[in-house]
Structure 1
Amino acid sequence: MYDAELMAVATGAAGTLVAAITTSGVDKMRLKVAHFFRRGTPEQQRAAAQAVDDIAATLTSPSAEARELAANIWTRLIVQYLAEHCDAISEVGELAVPTPPASRVWNQHNTGTGTFIGGDVHGGLTFNYGGVPDGGR
């Protein structure tokens, strides 16, 4: 029997993981799941990879029942894995956190002559949002 804390951690991670598969995409979450289950047996790794694909297919038309079923599958997989690999409990948070979206960058370069406020303008602007700052560049 698993203790209540382990079940609570696994249940929370499973629900968030199901949501992340829906929002972040299957490919990104497949990589996270593979990294999390890296200490597992080949059978555990295959089961986790298959669960990502099965759940992604199930969630193409998401219903409350489909999300609950997916969360239950992940809870079982995570509990079994953590029971054998207790040191992985510190990584559960990383598994359940959705991957942030990629940065979007637009470049605008302005050149020209004529009447501008303050004279001629030469230069450009770079808008980078949704990503990590690049050190003031």
Structure 2
Amino acid sequence: MYDAELMAVATGAAGTLVAAIAASGAEQMHLKVAHFFRLASPDQQRAAAQAVDDTAVQLTPSSPEAQVLAWAQLIAQYLAEHHDAMSELDELVVPTPPASKVWNQHNNGTGTFIGGDVHGGVTFNYGGASDGGH
């Protein structure tokens, strides 16, 4: 069994990870999990990838505890074998920002608009990074 401090860290990370899988879906979390477990054995990497899918399929709002416990065990085992990965744990559990949604509208032509003819367009980038007004 792992020491109490390691299990506390692993359980906290596991809870956040399960919530991220529930919010973002398995597809969004596969890359993060694969990156975090990159030093693991191939069997451990496959187990972590499968755990993402299992969590997404089995997670219900009333029963996340079993998923958190399973992830806590995976994370604790990995951290026990790869102590340096502790510094990367934040990257695993920081929520993935939502994907940007972009809409483009282009207006041109003749006719009466408010104030006369309108030429140009507008781009809405909802949820994305600002490009500085360009």
Fold conserved between structures, TM > 0.5: yes
- What is the TM-score normalised by the length of structure 1? 0.88
Aligned partners of 2:123, 2:41: CA distance in 1, in Å? Answer: 47
2:21 aligned partner: 21
1:64 aligned partner: 62
> Structure 1 residue 18: deviation in Å?
0.8
Q: Aligned residue pairs: how many? A: 134
Aligned partners of 1:134, 1:123: CA distance in 2, in Å? Answer: 18
1:124 aligned partner: 121
Aligned partners of 1:57, 1:114: CA distance in 2, in Å? Answer: 54
SS of the aligned residue for 1:38 comes to: coil
1:90 to 76, 81, 87: 87
Aligned partners of 2:17, 2:128: CA distance in 1, in Å? Answer: 22
SS of the aligned residue for 1:72 comes to: helix
Aligned partners of 1:71, 1:15: CA distance in 2, in Å? Answer: 5
Aligned partners of 2:109, 2:85: CA distance in 1, in Å? Answer: 59
Task: Letter of the 1:136 partner, please give it.
Answer: G
Q: How does 1:1-137 map to 2 (within 5 A)?
A: 1-59=1-59, 62-65=60-63, 67-137=64-134
Task: Letter of the 2:51 partner, please give it.
Answer: A
> Structure 1 residue 121: deviation in Å?
1.5
Task: Flag structure 2 segments of 5+ consecutive residues without an equivalent.
Answer: none
Alignment RMSD: 1.6
- What is the TM-score normalised by the length of structure 2? 0.89
Aligned partners of 1:24, 1:63: CA distance in 2, in Å? Answer: 14
Between the aligned residues of both structures, percent identity stands at 72
